[in-house]
């Protein structure tokens, strides 16, 4: 479980995060949603330690991340996997070398075992046969899948995904979402996903934190979100006509059920 | 009056920013100059870097040194030709210039352009595409993993490049005998005249120091890039300018100290 308490972050005099409180549960897909520029990426970077919070605490299963020593932080990081908005694959290495990299760095297994493990992970994201290609030669969706394989190769306890389906078509987005959800449930990982894609929210949102202008406005799951009464959340979610109509249908149904 | 105030302000600012850079550079070097996470990975990178930075520069070093050797020889012949001057002076002077200044300092200055921009743009691109963040998240010491092999690699190969440069310069000088301006025995006598082995070692020491300056300064410029492709381009120019100036400065100190 990851817990964020009274987290503040400002750049110079610009306050981006204001008093964020949130809990991210084990074995569930925890979503952080919010408009572009609301501070999702900044929040995630604070949680993983790429940025240092101005104020506040972050607990990884009761280990206070901010006050850990440098050495302890590095050890904790080996329990994390992260998928960046831009995939961030090492472009000088082949797909297989990318996935094997964490193993090469931290595992003492023989080469054959490491390779076997990497190929297993590539198979898990349906990328058999692409291991000798380079990141520049594969599509964006495939790059994201390689990034997932690289993030899970060391069997992390915590998985972070910053907009895993930005720039992908709706169908591929769903494939990626389901991959992430499947891995999370099978391996009991604490997964945090940043997104503003409503398909993801409705599809895999088991624990959703809504951020608006740097404040955590609402927390709940994808069933509760339909009935949420928070004005800012409604404005964000039901921005499109289709979703507004879905909401109306949903409300009608609720009323009928009550009568 | 206002103008002077303005000037002072600029001076204070530039001293301040210079000191900030120095501080950041020293801190980065603290992270770079530590024990690698995995020696196996370090050695792999080390060999790659020696090939990329060193082996790929052999061509340019040989060509430039050959022609400069020839031109120095011709110029000296033209300028000091007189009946009182022993004929071997041409060879002697050419040797001293190549050994003491050209092959060590000027050659490194030329390589600062090639190697420095290469390093800064490579690391800078890794920074803006979040590849460095990806390394950090894995718990890898990214500065050490990326920069140390480059520094050690070029420090290993630079003395070899300098030796090759001296050799090519001498060959170039011999080639002028084909034009009939000098003769081979004359030149050979000059090349052998009062040879001081220490001067050769001076060149080697300079080469190693310059290799450190070029790689570490360029890596610093690349590693601290913020922004996009424009900033990467700027950092690569900055890297060349700064490392060239530092090479020239240290040339004065080293020449003063060593001879
Ligand atoms: N390094 C930084 N320095 C200054 N301001 C920053 C920095 N990083 C982010 N910000 C600011 O913080 C705010 C939140 O940015 P953030 O990247 O977290 O948005 P986001 O919610 O991830 O948006 P998107 O959905 O577009 O990715 C923005 O206004 C941005 O300008
Ligand atoms: Mg973002």
Give the pLDDT confidence of A48-97 residue by residue, as tens digits: 998 999 999 999 998 899 888 888 888 898 899 999 988 899 999 999 99
Q: What is the pLDDT of residue B220?
A: 97
CA atoms within 13 A on the CB side of B168: 20
- Please, which residues bridge with residue B188 across strands? none
Length of chain A: 259
- For residue A37, the CA-to-ligand 1 centroid distance in Å is 5
Please give the CATH architecture assigned to the domain spanning A2-221: 3-Layer(aba) Sandwich (3.40)
Q: What is the mean pLDDT of residues A8-33?
A: 91
Asked if the ipTM is above 0.90, the reply is no
| Pairwise CA distance, residues B151 & B42, whole Å | 12
CB contact under 8 A, A50 and B134: no
User: Of all protein residues, whose CA lies closest to atom 26 belonging to ligand 1?
Assistant: A36
Residue of B nearest to A105 (CA): B38
Q: From CA A182, how far away is CA A196, in angstroms rounded? A: 20
Mean pLDDT for the stretch of residues A233-243: 79
By three-state DSSP, how is residue A64 classified? strand
In chain B, what are the domain boundaries? 1-31, 45-258
Q: Say which residue the tokens 């740097």 belong to.
A: A214
Q: Which residues fall within 8 angstroms of residue A65, CB to CB, at 6 or more apart? A: A47, A49, A57, A58, A59, A73, A76
Decide if pLDDT at A217 tops 90.
no
B41 shares contact with chain A (CB less than 8 Å): yes
- Residue contact A50–B137, C-beta within 8 A: yes
* Structural domain spans, chain A: 2-221
The residue-averaged pLDDT of A31-42 equals 90
The H or E element spanning position A116 is: helix A111-124
- Tell me if B126 sits within 8 A of B178, measured CB to CB: no
pLDDT in tens, B138-169: 889 999 999 999 999 999 999 999 999 999 99
Q: Cα(B99)–Cα(B94) distance, rounded to whole angstroms?
A: 8
How far, in Å, CA of B129 to CA of A90, rounded?
9
CA distance A6 to B117: 44
Tokens 């990034």 belong to residue: A147
Q: Around Cβ A72, how many Cβ atoms within 10 Å?
A: 12
CA-to-CA distance for B24 and B30, rounded, in angstroms?
10
pLDDT tens for each residue of A152-195: 999 999 999 998 888 888 888 888 899 899 999 999 999 999 98
- Mean pLDDT in residue range B211-240: 95
How confident is the model over A100-125, as pLDDT tens digits?
999 999 989 999 999 999 999 999 88
Amino acid B13: pLDDT: 73
Residue with tokens 């920069």: B147
- By CA distance, what is A108's nearest residue in B? B38
Distance CA B169, CA B180 (A): 18
């Amino acid at each position: 479980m990851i817990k964020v308490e009274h987290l503040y972050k400002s750049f110079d005099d610009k306050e981006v995060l204001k008093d964020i409180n949130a809990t991210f549960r084990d074995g569930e897909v925890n979503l952080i949603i919010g408009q572009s520029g609301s501070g999702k990426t900044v929040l995630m970077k604070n949680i993983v330690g790429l940025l240092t919070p101005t104020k506040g605490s972050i607990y990884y299963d009761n280990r206070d991340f901010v006050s850990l020593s440098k050495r302890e932080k590095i050890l904790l990081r080996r329990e994390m996997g992260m998928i960046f908005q831009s995939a961030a694959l090492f472009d000088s290495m082949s797909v297989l070398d990318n996935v094997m990299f964490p193993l090469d760095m931290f595992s003492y297994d023989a080469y054959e075992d490491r390779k076997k493990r990497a190929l297993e992970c590539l198979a898990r994201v349906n990328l058999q046969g692409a291991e000798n290609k380079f990141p520049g030669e594969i599509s964006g969706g495939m790059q994201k899948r390689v990034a997932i394989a690289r993030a899970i190769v060391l069997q992390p306890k915590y998985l972070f995904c910053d907009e895993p389906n930005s720039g992908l078509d709706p169908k591929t987005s769903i494939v990626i979402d389901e991959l992430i959800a499947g891995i999370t449930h099978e391996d009991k990982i604490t997964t945090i996903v940043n997104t503003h894609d409503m398909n993801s929210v409705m599809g895999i949102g088991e624990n959703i934190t809504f951020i608006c202008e740097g404040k955590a406005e609402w927390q709940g799951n994808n069933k509760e979100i339909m009935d949420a009464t928070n004005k800012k959340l409604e404005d964000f979610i039901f921005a499109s006509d289709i979703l507004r109509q879905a909401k109306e249908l949903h409300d009608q149904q609720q009323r009928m059920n009550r009568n | 009056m206002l103008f002077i105030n303005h000037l002072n302000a600029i001076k204070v600012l530039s001293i301040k920013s210079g000191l900030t850079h120095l501080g950041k550079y020293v801190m980065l070097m603290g992270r770079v100059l530590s024990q690698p996470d995995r020696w196996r990975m370090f050695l792999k990178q080390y060999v790659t870097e020696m090939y990329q930075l060193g082996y790929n520069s052999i061509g340019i070093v040989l060509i430039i040194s050959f022609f400069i050797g020839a031109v120095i020889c011709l110029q000296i012949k033209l300028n000091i030709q007189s009946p009182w001057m022993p004929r071997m002076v041409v060879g002697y002077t050419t040797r001293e210039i190549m050994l003491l200044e050209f092959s060590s300092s000027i050659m490194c200055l030329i390589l600062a352009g090639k190697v420095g921009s290469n390093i800064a743009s490579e690391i800078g691109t890794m920074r803006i595409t979040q590849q460095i963040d990806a390394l950090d998240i894995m718990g890898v010491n990214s500065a050490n993993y990326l920069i140390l092999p480059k520094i050690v690699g070029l420090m290993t190969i630079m003395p070899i490049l300098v030796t090759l440069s001296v050799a090519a310069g001498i060959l170039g000088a011999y080639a002028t005998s084909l034009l009939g301006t000098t003769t081979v025995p004359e030149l050979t006598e000059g090349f052998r005249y009062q040879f001081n082995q220490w001067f050769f070692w001076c060149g080697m020491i300079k080469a190693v120091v310059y290799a450190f300056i070029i790689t570490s300064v360029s890596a610093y410029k690349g590693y601290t890039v913020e922004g996009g492709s424009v900033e990467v381009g700027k950092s690569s120019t900055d890297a060349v300018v700064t490392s060239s100036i530092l090479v020239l400065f240290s040339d004065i100190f080293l020449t003063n100290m060593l001879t």
